[in-house]
């Protein structure tokens, strides 16, 4: 600890001395006398810089769940730094912070970063500066042994170390994917880590859904589902590349989730259009049969009876075979009037029926001959 522990009497005498301004001395002399009692420390020694470097690295490290109770350890450090004797601040409780250091040796760098965040989030101040203010170089070197053990455990567990080239902080993502941070897709400034220790950041689509962007550009839904796409930047434009295709499409500002998700996987190669098959042939107009342009049926007159048959291809014609119209009086009248040469003279037809040469057999009573 930096401040020595005083007895209640010693502490009171020191306070009196600090409050006793000697008017016979200059301001500078009085200030030097006070500073001889309490030293204002700055981060200047190698040990202090090492402690600061380890803790400062947490700002760019992906948040992850550690193995220790970070909040409890952070609070214990704060109590150690505010050690009191008989109501007076008496320096630092060495036994308390050493007990926390012993616990921390069983953790890893995720735990160190979580303790740092908890200490500062709880309003106790800057953790690195507090350590430097409260502990001397020998004690800081002792604490660095704990930090080194945590770093070694992290490497042994295969996790990302502070100085590892694989560590991707928020600045790395900004440099690699500037379009995300130049658009409305950016969510926050955090780098996260999945269960396999791969780091990613979150982006937001135009429908408000969140997606994970990994360091190689791969995009997953926030539930971890693969989209089959990679993100690509062209200036401030966000684009997507199918993992199997080099074709890029760019859009401004917010990106389209429909464009991202698409079919949910790699873009398939376009299928060639099928070649048109041969057109089906119509049934030929048989010898002796008659019809009119646009009429899908043909007709023939045999032994005083009209017969009909479809002219469409045989497979889809409504009447594929010859059918008698003997029981269809109206159809017979129309055909008799349309083709009087096949059954009676024109004069006879004019006397018996009013001829409509434009009538279609399908128009009779709203039915076609096949339904009669």
Q: What's the pLDDT tens digit per position in 95-153? A: 999 999 999 999 999 999 999 999 999 999 999 999 998 898 899 999 999 999 998 88
Mean pLDDT of 286-290: 83
Determine contact, residues 71/122, Cβ cutoff 8 Å: yes
Q: Is 28 domain-assigned?
A: yes
Contacts of 346 (CB under 8 A, 6+ apart): 340
User: Using alpha carbons only, what angle is made at residue 14 by residues 9 and 19, rounded to the nearest 5 degrees?
Assistant: 125
Question: What is the pLDDT, as a whole number, of residue 127?
Answer: 94
Boundaries of domain holding 234: 170-261
Most confident of 290-294, 321-325, 355-359: 321-325
Q: What does the DSSP assignment read for 247-295?
A: -EEEESSSPPHHHHHTTSSSPPPPPPPPPP-PPPPPPPPPTT-B--TT-
Q: Tell me, yes or no, whether 133 and 186 share the same domain.
A: no
Indicate whether 133 and 47 sit together in one domain.
yes
Determine, yes or no, domain membership for 32. Answer: yes
Q: Is 128 in the same domain as 178?
A: no
- Domain boundary residue, one of 156, 188, 217: 156
Task: Give the number of other Cβ atoms within 10 Å of residue 57's Cβ.
Answer: 19
Residue 66: inside a domain, yes or no?
Answer: yes
> Could you tell me if 53 and 130 lie in one domain?
yes
Is residue 308 located within the same domain as residue 232? no
148 shares its domain with 180: no
Taking only the tens place, the pLDDT of each residue in 194-208 is 877 788 999 988 888
DSSP state of 113: H
Determine what percent of the chain is predicted with pLDDT higher than 70.
65
What is the pLDDT confidence band of residue 55, given thresholds at 50, 70 and 90? very high
Domain ends where: 156, 185, 220? 156
Residue 243, pLDDT score: 63
The whole-model pTM stands at 0.37
Q: What is the pLDDT of residue 346?
A: 47
Count of domains for the chain? 3
Span 279-291, mean pLDDT? 72
- Same structural domain for residues 144 and 191? no
One domain for residues 342 and 367: yes
For residues 77 and 148, state if they share a domain: yes
Identify whether 164 is part of a domain: no
Query: Is residue 273 included in any domain, yes or no?
Result: no
Q: Is 238 among the domain residues?
A: yes
> Do 231 and 340 fall within a single domain?
no
Q: If you average pLDDT over residues 244-273, what whole number do you get?
A: 56
- Residue 356 inside a domain? The answer is yes
Domain boundary among 128, 156, 184: 156
The answer on 253 and 350 residing in a single domain is no
In a domain, 334, yes or no: yes
**Based on the domain organization, do 190 and 149 belong to the same domain?**
no
Percent of the chain with pLDDT over 90: 20
Q: Is 181 exposed, middle or buried (0-12, 13-18, 19+ CB in 10 A)?
A: middle
């Amino acid at each position: 600890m930096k401040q020595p522990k005083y007895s209640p009497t010693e502490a009171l005498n020191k306070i009196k001395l600090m409050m006793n301004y000697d008017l016979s001395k200059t301001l500078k002399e009085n200030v030097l006398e006070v500073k001889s009692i309490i030293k204002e420390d700055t981060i200047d020694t190698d040990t202090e810089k090492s402690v600061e470097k380890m803790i400062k690295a947490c700002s760019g490290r992906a948040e992850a769940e550690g193995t220790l109770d970070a909040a409890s350890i952070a609070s214990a450090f704060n109590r150690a730094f505010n050690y009191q004797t008989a109501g007076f601040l008496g320096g630092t409780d060495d036994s308390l912070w050493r007990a926390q250091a012993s616990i921390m040796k069983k953790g890893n760098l995720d735990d160190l970063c979580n303790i740092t965040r908890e200490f500062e989030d709880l309003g106790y101040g800057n953790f690195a500066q507090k350590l430097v203010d409260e502990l001397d170089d020998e004690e800081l070197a002792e604490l660095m042994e704990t930090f080194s053990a945590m770093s070694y455990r992290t490497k042994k567990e295969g996790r990302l170390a502070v100085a590892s080239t694989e560590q991707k902080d928020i600045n790395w993502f900004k440099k690699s994917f500037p379009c995300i941070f130049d658009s409305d897709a950016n969510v926050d400034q955090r780098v996260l880590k999945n269960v396999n220790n791969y780091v990613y950041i979150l982006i937001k689509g135009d429908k408000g859904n969140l997606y994970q962007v990994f360091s190689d550009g791969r995009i997953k839904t926030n539930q971890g589902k693969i989209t089959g796409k990679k993100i690509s930047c062209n200036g401030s434009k966000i684009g997507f590349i199918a993992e199997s295709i080099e074709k890029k499409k760019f859009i401004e500002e917010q990106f389209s989730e429909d464009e991202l998700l698409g079919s949910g996987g790699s873009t398939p190669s376009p299928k060639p259009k099928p070649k048109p098959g041969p057109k089906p042939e119509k049934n030929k107009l048989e010898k002796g049969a008659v019809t009119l342009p646009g009429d899908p049926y043909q007709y023939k007159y045999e032994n005083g009876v009209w017969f009909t048959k479809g002219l469409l291809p045989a497979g889809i014609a409504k009447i594929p075979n010859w059918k008698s119209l003997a029981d269809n009086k109206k159809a017979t009248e129309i055909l008799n009037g349309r083709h009087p040469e096949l059954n009676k003279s024109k004069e006879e037809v004019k006397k018996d029926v009013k001829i409509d040469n434009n009538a279609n057999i399908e128009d009779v009573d709203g039915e076609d001959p096949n339904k009669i």
